Amino acid sequence: MTSATVSVVGQTKESTVRTGRIVLYVALTVGAILMITPFLWMVLTAFKSELEITKFSWLPGELRWSNFVEAMQTAPFLRYFRNSLIIAVGETAFTLAVCTTAGYALAKLPIRGAKALLSYFILLLLVPFQIILVPLFLIVKSVPLFGGNNILGQGGIGWLNSWWGLIIPLGAAPLFTFLARQFYVSIPNELAQAARVDGLGEFGIFWRIMTPLIKPALITICVFQIEAAWNGFLWPLMITTSDSMRPLQLGLAIFAQNPAEVQWPYLMAGTALATLPMIVMFVFAQKRFVEGMANVGIKG
Amino acid sequence: MSATLERPGPALATPRTVAPGKDSRRLIRGQVRAGWLLIAPALLHSGIFIVIPVVFAIGLSFTDYSFGDSWAWVGFQNYVDLYNDQDFRAALVNTILYAVVVIPISMALSLLIALGLNQKIRGLGFFRTAFYIPTVTATVAVATIWLWIYNPGSGLANGFLSLFGFAPSAWLSDPGTALPSLMVVGIWQGLGTKIIIYLAALQGVSRDLVESASLDGAGRWQRFAHVTWPALGPVQFFVLITSIVGTFQVFDLVYVMTKGGPGTETTVLVLEIYQNAFQALRLGYASAETVIMMILIAIFIGLGRLLQRADVND
B78-313 falls under which CATH superfamily?
Answer: MetI-like (1.10.3720.10)
CATH number of the domain where residue A246 is located? 1.10.3720.10
Nearest by CB: A28 against B116, B274, B294: B116
Q: How far is A32 from chain B (nearest CA, A)?
A: 6
Q: What is the pLDDT of residues B106-164, one digit of tens each?
A: 999 999 998 888 887 888 888 888 888 888 777 777 887 888 788 887 777 888 888 88
Determine, for residues A275 and B141 on separate chains, whether the beta-carbon distance falls below 8 Å: yes
Q: How far is A146 from chain B (nearest CA, A)?
A: 16
* B291 touches B58 (CB < 8 A): yes
Assigned domain for A99 exists: yes
Q: What is the mean pLDDT of residues B252-262?
A: 85
Q: Please report the pLDDT score of residue A300 as a whole number.
A: 38
Determine, for residues B154 and A297 on separate chains, whether the beta-carbon distance falls below 8 Å: no
Describe chain B by its helix, strand, coil percentages, rounded to 5: 70, 0, 25
Q: Look up the domain containing A112 and give its range.
A: 68-294
Q: What is the pLDDT of residues B62-109, one digit of tens each?
A: 998 887 777 888 888 999 999 999 999 999 999 999 999 999 999 999
B113 contact partners, CB below 8 Å, separation of at least 6: A28, A31, B131, B191, B195
Of the pLDDT bands very low, low, confident and very high (cuts 50, 70, 90), residue B214 is confident
Q: Which of residues 96-155 of B touch A (CB under 8 A)?
A: 113, 116-117, 119, 121, 125-134, 136-142, 144-149, 153-155
Evaluate if residue B9 carries a pLDDT over 70. Answer: no
Assigned domain for A17 exists: no
Determine, for residues B136 and A278 on separate chains, whether the beta-carbon distance falls below 8 Å: yes
Q: How far is A211 from chain B (nearest CA, A)?
A: 13
CA distances from A206 to A43, A121, A209, A210, A213 (A): 46, 20, 6, 5, 10
Looking at the DSSP bridge assignments, the partners of residue B63 are B73
- Residues of chain A scoring pLDDT < 70: 1-13, 55-56, 255-261, 290-300
Taking Cα atoms as reference points, which of A130, A144, A158 lies closest to residue A239? A158
Which phi and psi angles does B139 have, rounded to 5°? -60, -35
B292 contact partners, CB below 8 Å, separation of at least 6: B79, B82, B92, B269
Nearest by CB: A274 against B1, B138, B273: B138
Determine, for residues B48 and A287 on separate chains, whether the beta-carbon distance falls below 8 Å: no
Determine, for residues A28 and B117 on separate chains, whether the beta-carbon distance falls below 8 Å: yes
* A266 touches A64 (CB < 8 A): no
Assigned domain for A254 exists: yes
* A48 touches B154 (CB < 8 A): no
Looking at the DSSP bridge assignments, the partners of residue B73 are B63
Q: Please report the pLDDT score of residue B313 as a whole number.
A: 52
Evaluate if residue B219 carries a pLDDT over 90. Answer: no
ipTM over 0.85: no
Determine, for residues B137 and A278 on separate chains, whether the beta-carbon distance falls below 8 Å: yes
Domain ranges of chain B: 78-313
pTM: 0.77
Q: What is the pLDDT of residues B179-200, one digit of tens each?
A: 999 999 999 988 988 888 788 7
Interface test with B, best of A2, A16, A26, A35 (most B CBs within 10 A): A35
Q: Could you tell me which chain B residue has the CA closest to the CA of A194?
A: B18
Q: Which of residues 140-159 of A touch B (CB under 8 A)?
A: none
- Please say whether the dihedral angle defined by the alpha carbons of residues A116, A121, A122 and A127, taken in this order, is positive or negative: positive
**Count of structural domains within chain A:** 1
Q: Please report the pLDDT score of residue B136 as a whole number.
A: 79
Nearest by CB: A32 against B130, B141, B142: B130
Of the pLDDT bands very low, low, confident and very high (cuts 50, 70, 90), residue B312 is low
CB of B38 within 8 Å of any CB in chain A? yes
Determine, for residues A102 and B39 on separate chains, whether the beta-carbon distance falls below 8 Å: yes
CB of A102 within 8 Å of any CB in chain B? yes
Assigned domain for A38 exists: no
Determine, for residues A293 and B116 on separate chains, whether the beta-carbon distance falls below 8 Å: no
In the chain, the amino acid numbered B263 is G
Q: Please report the pLDDT score of residue B101 as a whole number.
A: 96
Q: Please report the pLDDT score of residue B52 as a whole number.
A: 93
Higher pLDDT residue, B60 or B208?
B60
